[in-house]
Amino acid sequence: ILKRLVKAEKLEVVSHLAASISHEVRNPLTASRGFMQMLGEDEQNPIKKRYLSIAIDELDRAKDIIDDYLLFANSAPERPEQVDVGVEIQHVLQIMKPLANMNGVVLPPPSLLHGQAKVCGERKKLQQCFINLVKNSIEAMPNGGKLEVKLKKSGETVTVEIHDTGCGMTSEQISRLGEPYFTTKEKGTGLGTMVSFRIIHYMQGKVHVKSEKGKGTCFSIELPLCTKTAPKID
């Protein structure tokens, strides 16, 4: 038992470290990217210009991996708190607005609930979960479309539905969702859905996916509401 405890503690330290290191690493990446871009703009030599653009692409790649992976190493809740799903959804849509605009995606305000829907988890992780899913929906609509988010409460659960009018998936692709490194994108990481699914799993939630190739996709995430009794955490 002692050995197992030590191992669990080590794992926790490592995953904590991974999460904080990734935060720290983003800043120097962003700074380097800025300087390289400046050098590239002034550069006349086409070969050097090309090298700089490759270097920038590689930095973007590193940033994508960190963004999708940031909390993965640490997706079991450490300090569970009560989180209002409606508030977090609104926050996430705010964050994703620039990406939606860039892709010509319209983002009507989410249909929220009257009153609160509190779930037990960690705010940052729940945000990461929704960010990864919303990002995928937007990326599925490179030529524009509509992203709708709906919240529904029923009995003991709250369900978040994320609808897009994007490229959709085949049933084979749906079945591979959540598999690490599964991606159909040229510059994908294949980590985003895996991270989201793990976070949902740790909150004892469920995911349903409906998708039709060429038409669109709907992810519904059903999460248990916080009850007065203490939450079960494994």
Say if residues 199 and 186 touch (Cβ distance below 8 Å).
no
Q: Does 161 bind ligand ADP (CB under 6 A)?
A: no
Q: Please give the backbone phi and psi of residue 104, each rounded to the nearest 5 degrees, phi first.
A: 70, 30
Would you say 145 or 192 has its CB closer to Mg ion? 192
Q: Does 160 bind ligand ADP (CB under 6 A)?
A: no
Q: Which spans of this chain sit near Mg ion (rule: CB under 5 A)? A: 136, 192
- For tokens 């996916």, what's the residue? 209
Say if residues 215 and 205 touch (Cβ distance below 8 Å).
no
Q: Which two tokens stand for residue 79?
A: 């300090």
d(CA 139, CA 131): 12
Would you say 76 or 177 has its CB closer to Mg ion? 177
d(CA 213, CA 228): 43
Residues 184-213 within binding reach of ligand ADP (CB under 6 A): 184-185, 188-194
Q: Does 166 bind ligand ADP (CB under 6 A)?
A: yes
Would you say 138 or 158 has its CB closer to Mg ion? 138
Q: Does 127 bind ligand ADP (CB under 6 A)?
A: no
**Length in residues, the chain:** 234
Q: How many CA atoms lie within 13 A of 14 on its CB side?
A: 7
* Shortest distance in whole angstroms from residue 65 CB to Mg ion: 11
Would you say 94 or 170 has its CB closer to ligand ADP? 170
Q: Which does 173 bind (CB under 5 to 8 A by kind): ligand ADP, Mg ion, none?
A: ligand ADP
Q: How many CA atoms lie within 13 A of 42 on its CB side?
A: 5
* Shortest distance in whole angstroms from residue 116 CB to ligand ADP: 27
Would you say 80 or 192 has its CB closer to Mg ion? 192
Helix, strand, or coil here: 78? Answer: coil
* Shortest distance in whole angstroms from residue 33 CB to ligand ADP: 19
**Cβ-closest position to Mg ion:** 192
* Shortest distance in whole angstroms from residue 176 CB to Mg ion: 13
DSSP for 187-225, written as a single string:
T--S-HHHHHHHHHHHTT-EEEEEEETTTEEEEEEEEEB
d(CA 185, CA 168): 13
Provide the mask over 75-94, with x wherever binding to ligand ADP is found by CB under 6 A and - wherever it is not: --------------------
Binding interface with ligand ADP (CB under 6 A): 132, 136-137, 140, 164, 166-169, 173, 177, 182-185, 188-194, 217
